[in-house]
Amino acid sequence: MVMQKLGASSLFSPLLLWILFVSGRISLVCTSHDHHHHRVHDRLAMFRPAKMFVFGDSYADTGNNPKALASSWKVPYGITFPGKPSGRYSDGRVLTDFLAAYFGLRSPIPYRWRKVGSRYVKYGMNFAFGGTGVFDTLIAQPNMTVQIDLFQQLIAESVYTGPALRSSLALVTNSGNDYSAYLARNGSYKDLPKFIPLVVNQLALDIKRIRDLGVKMIAVAGLQPLGCLPQSTASDSFRTCNATANSLVTFHNQLLQQAVAKLNNQTRSPPAAVFVDLYSSFMSVLNDTGSTKFPEPLKPCCLGINSSYSCGSVDQSGQKKYELCKDPKGMFFWDLVHPTQEGWRAVVSKLGPNLKQL
Helix, coil or strand: residue 202: helix
Phi, psi for 4 (deg, rounded to 5): -125, 145
**Which residues pair with residue 276 across a beta bridge?**
221
Verify whether residue 335 is a known catalytic residue.
Answer: yes
In angstroms, rounded to a whole number, what is the distance separating the alpha carbons of residues 200 and 223? Answer: 11
DSSP-derived secondary structure for 19-52:
HHHH--------TT-HHHHHHHHHHHHT---SEE
Task: State the helix-helix crossing angle for 243-265 and 192-212, rounded to 10 degrees.
Answer: 30
Cβ proximity of 267 and 208 under 8 Å: no
How far, in whole angstroms, is CA 28 from its chain's centroid? Answer: 14
CA dihedral 324, 63, 165, 122 (to 10 degrees): -110
CA dihedral 267, 178, 91, 308 (to 10 degrees): 180
Helix, coil or strand: residue 221: strand
Cβ proximity of 139 and 116 under 8 Å: no
Contacts of 327 (CB under 8 A, 6+ apart): none
Verify whether residue 33 is a known catalytic residue.
Answer: no
Verify whether residue 97 is a known catalytic residue.
Answer: no
Alpha-carbon distances, residue 349 vs 98, 174, 176, 296 (angstroms): 10, 21, 23, 19
In angstroms, rounded to a whole number, what is the distance separating the alpha carbons of residues 127 and 54? Answer: 6
Which residue among 10, 27, 58, 232 is the active-site one?
Answer: 58
Helix (H), strand (E) at residue 110: strand 109-110
Catalytic residue IDs? 58, 335, 338
